[in-house]
Structure 1
Amino acid sequence: MVADPLSVLSRVFGFPQFRGVQADVVARVLAGERTLAVMPTGAGKSLCYQLPATMLAGTCVVVSPLIALMHDQLRAATAVGISAATLTSVDENRAETIARLRAGELDLLYVAPERASGGHFRELLAETKLALFAIDEAHCVSEWGHDFRPDYRLLGPLMDAFPDVPRLALTATADAHTRADIARQLGIPADGMIVSGFDRPNIRYAITPRDQTTRQIADLIAATPGPGIVYAQTRAQTEKLAEALGRSTGRPTRAYHAGLDAAVRARNQADFVASEDMVICATVAFGMGIDKPDVRLVAHAGLPKSIEAYYQETGRAGRDGDPSVAHLFWGADDFARARQRIGEVEPERQAGERQRLAAMGALVETGGCRRHVLLRHFGENPTEPCGNCDNCLGSGTAVDATETARKFLSAVFRTGQMFGATYIEQVLTGQSTERSLMNGHENLSVWNIVPLEEAALVKPVVRALLLRDALRTNDHGGLEFGPGARPLLKGEATLSVALAPRRERRGKRGAPVAANPADNPLFEALRARRRELAQEAGVPPYVIFHDSVLRDMAAQRPRGRAELALLSGIGARKLDAYGDAFLQVIRAA
Structure 2
Amino acid sequence: METIAQPTIFELLKKQFGYDSFLPNQEEIINNVLDQNDTIAIMPTGGGKSLCFQLPALALEGTTIVISPLIALMKDQVDALKANGIPAQFFNSSQPYGEQQQVLRELQSGNLKLIYVAPESLPQLNFILKIIKIGLFAVDEAHCISSWGHDFRPAYTQLKRLKEQFPNVPLIALTATADRATREDIALQLAIPNAKIFIASFDRPNLYLDVRPGQNRNKQIFDFLKNHRDESGIIYCLSRKGTEKLAATLTAKGYKAEAYHAGLTSEERTQIQENFTNDVSPIIVATIAFGMGIDKSNVRWVIHYNMPKNIDGYYQEIGRSGRDGMPAHTILFHSFGDIVMLRKFAEGADNEAYQLAKLERMQQYAEALSCRRKVLLGYFGEHISEDCGNCDICKAPPNYFDGTLIAQKVCSAVARLQEEEALGMVLDVLRGSQNAQVFDKGYQKIKTYGAAKDVPWRDLQHYVIQLLNQGVLEVYFHENGRLVLTPQAKRVLFEGKKVRLANFVQEIETVKIERAPRKRAELFDKLRALRLKLAQEINKPAFVVFSDATLEDMEHKKPRTREDFAEVSGVGTAKLEKYADDFLKVINRHLDGLENELPTHEKSFKMFTEENLLPSEIAERRGILEDSVYGHLLKMHEAGATIDLYQLISSEEIQQIKDAKIKLENPDALKPYFEYFEERLPYWKIKMALYLEMQS
Residue matched to 2:252: 247
Q: 2: distance between equivalents of 1:231 and 1:220?
A: 15
Contact 1:296–1:513 under 8 Å retained in 2 = no
Q: Which residue, 234, 244, 258 being the options, matches 1:229? A: 234
Question: Does 1:34 pair with 2:45?
Answer: no
1:276 Cα deviation (Å)?
7.2
Q: 2: distance between equivalents of 1:502 and 1:230?
A: 21
Question: Does 1:84 pair with 2:80?
Answer: no
SS of the residue aligned with 1:23?
Answer: helix
Contact 1:59–1:130 under 8 Å retained in 2 = yes
Contact 1:273–1:292 under 8 Å retained in 2 = yes
Residue matched to 2:577: 576
1:498 Cα deviation (Å)?
4.9
Contact 2:42–2:199 under 8 Å retained in 1 = yes
Amino acid at match of 1:575: L
Q: 2: distance between equivalents of 1:253 and 1:277?
A: 6
Contact 1:367–1:497 under 8 Å retained in 2 = no
SS of the residue aligned with 1:499?
Answer: coil
Q: Which residue, 20, 25, 28 being the options, matches 1:21? A: 25
TM-score by length of 1: 0.80
Alpha-carbon deviations, 1:41-86, whole Å to 9, x = none?
A: 1011001111111121111010111210111111111111111101
Residue matched to 1:484: none
Contact 1:552–1:567 under 8 Å retained in 2 = yes
Q: Which residue, 217, 220, 234 being the options, matches 1:216? A: 220
Q: 2: distance between equivalents of 1:85 and 1:109?
A: 5
1:261 Cα deviation (Å)?
2.8
1:269 Cα deviation (Å)?
1.1
1:137 Cα deviation (Å)?
0.3
Contact 2:559–2:565 under 8 Å retained in 1 = yes
Question: Does 1:194 pair with 2:198?
Answer: yes
Residue matched to 1:113: 119
SS of the residue aligned with 1:82?
Answer: coil
Residue matched to 1:96: 102
Q: What pairs with 1:285-304 in structure 2 (closer than 5 Å)?
A: 285-304=289-308
Amino acid at match of 1:227: S
SS of the residue aligned with 1:325?
Answer: strand
Residue matched to 2:354: 352
Residue matched to 2:538: 537
Q: 1: distance between equivalents of 2:94 and 2:163?
A: 25
Q: 1: distance between equivalents of 2:190 and 2:384?
A: 30
Contact 1:83–1:106 under 8 Å retained in 2 = yes
Contact 1:229–1:282 under 8 Å retained in 2 = yes
Q: 2: distance between equivalents of 1:523 and 1:339?
A: 47
1:333 Cα deviation (Å)?
1.1
1:544 Cα deviation (Å)?
0.9
Q: 1: distance between equivalents of 2:213 and 2:175?
A: 31
Residue matched to 1:361: 363
Residue matched to 1:325: 329
* Structure 2 unaligned regions, length at least 5: 402-458, 467-501, 591-696
Q: 2: distance between equivalents of 1:78 and 1:392?
A: 44
Q: 1: distance between equivalents of 2:154 and 2:399?
A: 43
Alpha-carbon deviations, 1:406-447, whole Å to 9, x = none?
A: xxxxxxxxxxxxxxxxxxxxxxxxxxxxxxxxxxxxxxxxxx
1:399 Cα deviation (Å)?
8.5
Q: What pairs with 1:302-321 in structure 2 (closer than 5 Å)?
A: 302-321=306-325
Residue 191 to residue 91, structure 1, CA distance change in 2 (3 Å): closer
1:264 Cα deviation (Å)?
2.1
TM-score by length of 2: 0.68
Residue matched to 1:431: none
SS of the residue aligned with 1:133?
Answer: strand
Relative contact order higher in (CA < 8 Å, ≥ 6 apart): 1
SS of the residue aligned with 1:270?
Answer: helix
Q: 2: distance between equivalents of 1:502 and 1:125?
A: 57
Give the stretch that moved more between structures: 237-246 or 219-228: 219-228
Residue 497 to residue 15, structure 1, CA distance change in 2 (3 Å): farther
Question: Does 1:563 pair with 2:558?
Answer: no
1:124 Cα deviation (Å)?
2.1
Q: 1: distance between equivalents of 2:194 and 2:45?
A: 23
Residue matched to 2:640: none
Q: 1: distance between equivalents of 2:503 and 2:559?
A: 61
Contact 1:37–1:194 under 8 Å retained in 2 = yes
1:40 Cα deviation (Å)?
0.7
Contact 1:324–1:513 under 8 Å retained in 2 = no
Q: What pairs with 1:39-50 in structure 2 (closer than 5 Å)?
A: 39-50=43-54
Residue 219 to residue 550, structure 1, CA distance change in 2 (3 Å): same
1:497 Cα deviation (Å)?
4.2
Contact 1:298–1:327 under 8 Å retained in 2 = yes
Contact 2:63–2:133 under 8 Å retained in 1 = yes
Residue 540 to residue 80, structure 1, CA distance change in 2 (3 Å): same
SS of the residue aligned with 2:115?
Answer: strand
1:191 Cα deviation (Å)?
5.4
Contact 1:397–1:500 under 8 Å retained in 2 = no
Residue matched to 1:496: 505
Residue matched to 1:261: 265
Contact 1:25–1:37 under 8 Å retained in 2 = yes
Question: Does 1:552 pair with 2:553?
Answer: yes
Contact 2:134–2:169 under 8 Å retained in 1 = yes
Contact 2:187–2:195 under 8 Å retained in 1 = no
SS of the residue aligned with 1:113?
Answer: coil
Contact 1:399–1:496 under 8 Å retained in 2 = no
Q: 2: distance between equivalents of 1:502 and 1:355?
A: 29
Q: What pairs with 1:45-64 in structure 2 (closer than 5 Å)?
A: 45-64=49-68
Alpha-carbon deviations, 1:434-489, whole Å to 9, x = none?
A: xxxxxxxxxxxxxxxxxxxxxxxxxxx9xx9xx99xxxxxxxxxxxxxxxxxxxxx
Give the stretch that moved more between structures: 204-213 or 578-587: 204-213
Q: 2: distance between equivalents of 1:350 and 1:257?
A: 25
Q: 2: distance between equivalents of 1:499 and 1:28?
A: 47
Residue 276 to residue 542, structure 1, CA distance change in 2 (3 Å): farther
Q: 2: distance between equivalents of 1:501 and 1:34?
A: 47
Q: Percent identity?
A: 42
Residue 168 to residue 240, structure 1, CA distance change in 2 (3 Å): same
SS of the residue aligned with 1:255?
Answer: strand
Cα RMSD of the aligned pairs, angstroms, is: 2.1
Q: 2: distance between equivalents of 1:142 and 1:494?
A: 39
Contact 2:66–2:114 under 8 Å retained in 1 = yes
SS of the residue aligned with 1:114?
Answer: coil
Residue matched to 1:586: 587
1:13 Cα deviation (Å)?
0.4
Alpha-carbon deviations, 1:17-62, whole Å to 9, x = none?
A: 1110000111011111100000111011001111111121111010
Contact 1:367–1:496 under 8 Å retained in 2 = no
Amino acid at match of 1:201: P
1:10 Cα deviation (Å)?
0.6
Q: 2: distance between equivalents of 1:173 and 1:269?
A: 23
SS of the residue aligned with 2:112?
Answer: coil
* Structure 1 unaligned regions, length at least 5: 401-460, 469-492, 504-508
Residue matched to 2:388: 386
Question: Does 1:270 pair with 2:274?
Answer: yes
Q: 2: distance between equivalents of 1:526 and 1:106?
A: 33
Amino acid at match of 1:531: L
Of structures 1 and 2, the larger Rg is shown by: 2
Q: 1: distance between equivalents of 2:528 and 2:339?
A: 44
Residue 398 to residue 137, structure 1, CA distance change in 2 (3 Å): farther
1:559 Cα deviation (Å)?
1.2
1:342 Cα deviation (Å)?
2.8
Q: 2: distance between equivalents of 1:63 and 1:372?
A: 33
Alpha-carbon deviations, 1:523-554, whole Å to 9, x = none?
A: 11111111111111111111111122212222
Residue 341 to residue 494, structure 1, CA distance change in 2 (3 Å): farther
Q: 1: distance between equivalents of 2:164 and 2:294?
A: 30
Q: 1: distance between equivalents of 2:556 and 2:245?
A: 42
